[in-house]
Amino acid sequence: MARPPVLSVALPSDTGRVLSIQSHTVQGYVGNKSAVFPLQLLGFDVDPINSVQFSNHTGYPTFRGQVLNGSQLWDLIEGLAENDLLHYTHLLTGYIGSVSFLTTVLQVVDKLRSVNPDLVYVCDPVLGDEGKLYVPQDLISVYQQKVVPVATMLTPNQFEVELLTGLRITCEEDGLKACNTLHSAGPRKVVITSALIEDKLLLIGSHKKAKEQPPEQFKIEIPKIPAYFTGTGDLTTALLLGWSNKYPDNLERAAELAVSSLQALLRRTVEDYKRAGFDPSTSSLEIRLIQSQDEIRSPQITCKAVKYS
């Protein structure tokens, strides 16, 4: 009796099939919990591999769980390969906590591109934020020398882009120079997802469509919300992957949709905490992902891109 085909491979969706390697929490929305559902809403088949599995995110007083190592990751990839299940259109990576695991991720990139040379690799280089490093120092050079050159799209925050480029970002021109530095290393698309410059919160995007041409660059001013949220970076990168797939030659349109969607979700989150009688400015907040699926699937553009000349 013939084995039935895997329909996500035999009849792939119009959008694509994503392998997402990120962290996972039982409760709350960070890592894969923040990325998989939105991508599914946008029409993707998504296969998650959890780099860690924790009870809750690490901002709580305690957490418990397990960490996947590089050999365990490769074992999963080999299992997929043995059953001809490795045809992916996109690879998405987020938090990775060790050099050995990151080295295995690079092997995964090679393996996936041996099956599909057109694989789009979207990398959120989770290193830290606001001057605080989340990972061992020696991961930075691996990202610089080995990961950045093979990424299609890179989505660092301000602190991460400074670590990757060695450039201090104090003005918009610095941000554009950092994007150009990263382009010269490999990725065609670079999005600095958040940068606090002259008291404004900005997204800075850059798309180098051809080697002989300068990149198309833009900014989006992001409305400040007086609260701290978990999982927003993971969600932002997932939305950028989703919308840039629909608009492959229009990164600013993809970014407008991603930022507008995120802002609607964050406003809902704040409103719901207030309705529950909690002051949202006093603690980190879990995002209202499920309740915001309309805003994820069909966002109204409220944050517009401004092109740099």
Q: The pTM is what?
A: 0.95
pLDDT in tens, 163-208: 999 999 999 999 999 999 999 999 999 999 999 999 999 999 999 9
Question: What is the residue type of 183?
Answer: H
Q: Where are the domains of the chain?
A: 13-307
Give the phi and the psi of residue 278 in degrees, each rounded to 5: -115, 135
pLDDT in tens, 5-33: 877 777 777 789 999 999 999 999 999 99
pLDDT in tens, 114-169: 999 999 999 999 999 988 898 899 999 999 999 999 999 999 999 999 999 999 99
Band of pLDDT at residue 292, cut at 50, 70 and 90: very high
pLDDT of 59 reads 84
84 given a catalytic annotation? no
* Residue of 234, 249, 272, 294 with catalytic role: 234
Give the phi and the psi of residue 35 in degrees, each rounded to 5: -105, -35
pLDDT in tens, 28-59: 999 999 999 999 999 999 999 999 999 998 88
DSSP assignments along 248-287, one per residue: TT-HHHHHHHHHHHHHHHHHHHHHHHHHTT--TTSSEEE-
Helices (H) and strands (E) in the chain, counts: 10, 14
How much of the chain exceeds pLDDT 70, in percent? 100
Instruction: Return d(Cα 52, Cα 33) in angstroms, integer.
Output: 12
Pairing outcome for strands 216-221 and 45-54: unpaired
- Of the candidates 231, 232, 261, the one whose C-alpha atom is nearest the C-alpha of residue 246 is 261
Assign 3-state DSSP to the chain and report helix, strand, coil percentages, each to 5. 40, 20, 35
Give the phi and the psi of residue 205 in degrees, each rounded to 5: -115, 150
Mean pLDDT of the chain: 94
In contact, 122 and 92? CB cutoff 8 Å: yes
Report the run of H or E that residue 200 belongs to, with start and end. strand 200-207
- Helix runs in the chain, H state only: 7-10, 32-41, 70-82, 99-115, 139-142, 158-165, 172-185, 232-246, 251-275, 293-297
Architecture of domain 13-307: 3-Layer(aba) Sandwich (3.40)
- Residue 245 clears pLDDT 90, i.e. is over it: yes
- Residue 1 clears pLDDT 80, i.e. is over it: no
pLDDT of 4 reads 84
